[in-house]
Structure formats: structure tokens, C-alpha cells
Chain A
Amino acid sequence: MTGHLNVVGALMRRGLNEILRVPAGALPGVIAPTIFMLGLAAVFGKAATLESYEGVSFLAFILPVGMLQGAGFTGAATGVNLARDIERGWFDRMLLAPTPRPVLLAGFVASASLRALLPASFLLIVALALGVGWPGLLELLIAAVLVMGLAAVVACYATLVALRFRTQQAAPLMQIGSFIAVLFTTSYAPRELLAGWLGTIADVNPVTHVLEGVRQGFVGDVTWAQTWPALVSIVALVAVFGALAVRGMRRQGR
């Protein structure tokens, strides 16, 4: 068990080293959601004057979307990096190591979860500087858990795509999945303002619960009624995509 944890730790360190040694590689995952958040707030900011937003600023409303987008970019980057390792043969060497494949996957996914805190923290600092109120420590803790959870889900999905296509050219496919999952929710507006078809999709999209779980601390008080669906959704998503990714890892080389 300790050996497995050491492997997970080493793979996490490898992922974190990439941020320090190739910062240009991590920048898009931070800059893109920041541009989206600031741009959407500048363009659609007046939408928050509609009654359904209950007086919350559009920036505070959209900040959690940016955080989850950042998690999505980070998770997708895990898949792109894996595809690069496959192309260069490094992944084949990892498979030859006497390490169970779920442990390798856990290393990739844990690294993505930890790195997702980088864009989330940056977005939070930018939003606070622009006047969004301090949400409180418990609220931030819940947001961090959910952001890390979504990064893990997207990392598992991106791993599946990388294992299937075995090329970095599949990167858009990795990114588009999280893009759709995060935005086809109550991302731009409260549920009652969504068009019928988008409302229906948002109702069945489990990421809506995750988004509302992150958002609650920025637009009001944290409640158990909004927290538990978010936690159940993220655990279920991790279980489903994690199981599929483990299956994909086990099938490699057979």
C-alpha cells in the first residue's frame, strides 16, 4: 500500500513539476477561464439586473463557472499529456513497471485534482479584486472539493479518450466534453430563466448540482440541501468515469 502511495505521489509530483518547468503549458488552463469570466461579466453583466438573479452580481454568479471550466481544462490537459506520453513511448514503459494500472490512473487523476486549484485560486483572487464578496472558509472548502472532484472526472474522461485515440490531436475531443458538461447547466442564468430545452438538459445534467454546490457560497449561504446533491453527483461521476478509465487502462497492451 505504501508503495502504491509512493507511485501516486511520484506521478503527482511529475504533474506539478510540469507547471514549474513548463509554465507556458499551464497558462492556457488559467488564462482561458479568466478571459471567459471577465468577458462574460463585461458583456452580460447587466443581465444580473433581472429579478431572478436576486441582486447577485453577474461576476459572482459566473465565478463558479470559471472555476469549473478551469477544472475541465486541467482535467483535459491530463489526457493531452497522457496522449503525448503514448506518442513518445513513455507510457509503454510505465505499463511495464510492476505497478497496478489503477494506481497509475490514480496518480494522473490526483495530479489533475491538485492542479485544478491553480486556476480556481487565480480566478478567486481576480474576482475578489473586482469586488466579489469573501465567501467564507467553509464555502471555499466545499468549492475546492467540488472543483477537485470535477477535475478528477474530466481527467478520467480525457484518459479514456487518450487511450482510445493515442494522439494529442484528440485534444479538442477531450476539451469539448467538459465544455458541454459545464455550460449546459445553470451556468449563465438561474433555472427559471433558461429556455425550455436548456432547462431540461440542465435538470438531468449532474454537473448542474456540482455548479450550484460551488456557487452557493458566492451568492448566499451554504445549505445542506444544495451541498449533498453536489457531493453525491461528483462521487457518482468519479465512480462511473473512474471505472471506465480503469477498464481502459487494464485493456492496454492486450
Chain B
Amino acid sequence: MRRATVALARRALVNAFRRPQFLAPLVLFPSLFLAINVGGLGATRELDGFPAVDGFLDYQLAAAILQSLLIGGVTAGIAAALDIEEGFFDRLVASPTPRIAIVLGRVLAASVIAFLQVVYFLVLGFVFGASIKGGVVGVACVLAIGVVAGTGFGAIGVLIALRARNASTVQGIFPLVFVVLFISSAFFPLELLSAPADVIARYNPLSFIADGMRQPIAFSNEAWPVVQGLLAAAGIAAASIGLSLLALRGRLRRA
């Protein structure tokens, strides 16, 4: 199963890098948003209740990473749906490939892409003057939370693809990425959000993931926010991989 998973992950990665139109949105849109947020709203650091940070870029970097990872989940879902639409999924099912590897291969590819996304944004941050307060350990924490969260979002994409079975439906969830982000503390401190977003954000796991990555970037390596972020990301990953495997089983039963 391990060899099949790695082989399918490699195939997914090769396909992704051969279709730059799928990869470009992962970095393009979040980078543009990051630039506009930092350039347009930097003065909001003066608001009462805004935590003391060296720069607004330091604060916004975690939001950009999270946004990129969520778009990565949509992209993984579209790729899985295209495999179903184009018949590759059926050929895999007919072959002696372990079926669990069909899901795990795609999810593993999402993890690798998530790693690259986090690295890209950290480098972008460095280039434009952000500093990681937590140092090397802080970078490792951000990478860990980011990769686990990206794995979970990739699995959610695969889950939706297995249910919907067409790429346009998966594409249709793209606006939802922004909805779930806007009702979290990814972009702005919880205390400064307007109602009802502030109430929802308190329980939104994305708030924990964003705050967990933000802590070592903008503040320090305080353990609890990082642990909370890691737990939220791991919870999403475990639940979404489990549900994806169930969806695969249901789909195979119907076939």
C-alpha cells in the first residue's frame, strides 16, 4: 500500500506541476490579498485591542498561509474530480491498486504542496521585512501546523470530489473558502471583529490554526496557542481523511 500511495502521490504532483493554471491560484490570490491588506489596513494597528506587533505583515502572514492552504484543498478536490470525470479513477479501481491508496496518494500530494506553500509565504515574508520571532523552532512550528492543516484541507477536497464526482461542483465551493476565513480570527484579532463574526470565530477551528501559526511568527514560541493550532489542524485532518475513506467505500459500493 505504501508504494502505491507514494506512486499515486508522485503522479498527482507531476500533474499539478504540469498544469500551472491549477497551482498559480494557490499563491497568486493570497499574495495579492496579503499585499492589499498590509498596504491598505496597516493603520489598524493603532486601534485599541490590537496586539503589539512589529509590523502588520507579521500579523497577516498566517492569514495568507491559511488562505493559500484552503485554496490548495479546493485544487486537490478539482484534481480528484477530474480523475473521476476522465475515467482514471475507474481504471485505478479495476487495477490491483489498494483502494485506500487512491485517497491517501492524493492527500499525501496535498501535504507536499502544503509544505511548499508555507515555505513560499515564509520566504515572501522575509523578503518584505517580516521576522519570525520564534526563530528556527518557530519556523518548524508554522511548517508543522501548515502541513497538517493542508493535509486536512486536501482530504476535504477529495471528500467533496468523491461525493460530487464533477470538477465544476468542487470549483463551486471556492467562495466558501472566503466565508469560513472571514468568520475566523485569521485576518483580525477576535476582539475587533464585528458581530456575529466574533462569536462564530471563537469556535471556528480556522481561528486556532491561524493563531497557532501567528504566535511564533509575530509574538513568541508560547506553547499553548501552537498546541491548540496543531490540535485543530490534526482534528480536521483525521476527520476529513476518515470521511474521505468512507466516501470512497460508499462510492465503490455504488459502482
Contact = CB atoms under 8 A, between A and B. Distances in A.
Interface of A: 28, 31-32, 35-36, 38-47, 49-50, 52, 169, 172, 176, 179-180, 183-184, 187-189, 193-195, 197-198
Contacts of A180: 32
Interface in B39-85: 39-44, 46-47
B24 interface: yes
Given A32-B175, A194-B40, A198-B40, A45 B24 contact: no
Contacts of A45: 193-194
B194 A193 contact: no
B192 A46 contact: yes
B141 interface: no
Given A31-B175, A32-B175, A42 B36 contact: no
Interface in B12-51: 21, 24-25, 28-29, 32, 35-44, 46-47
Contacts of B179: 35, 39
Given A35-B179, A43-B193, A50-B46, 16 more contacts: A39-B178, A39-B183, A42-B182, A42-B194, A43-B182, A43-B188, A44-B187, A46-B193, A50-B44, A52-B43, A176-B32, A189-B41, A193-B40, A193-B41, A195-B38, A197-B39
What DSSP secondary structure best describes chain B's contact surface? helix
B41 A188 contact: yes
Contacts, number: 87
Contact of B36 (A38, A43, A176, A183): A183
A111 B153 CA distance: 38
Contacts of A38: 182
Contacts of A195: 38-40, 42
B152 to A, nearest CB: 22
Interface in B164-222: 172, 175, 178-179, 181-183, 187-188, 192-194, 197
Nearest to A198: B39
Contact of A50 (B47, B183, B197): B47
11 contacts: A32-B175, A35-B182, A36-B178, A39-B181, A42-B197, A43-B194, A44-B41, A46-B192, A184-B36, A193-B40, A195-B42
B32 A183 contact: yes
A195 B37 CA distance: 10
Contacts of B197: 42-43
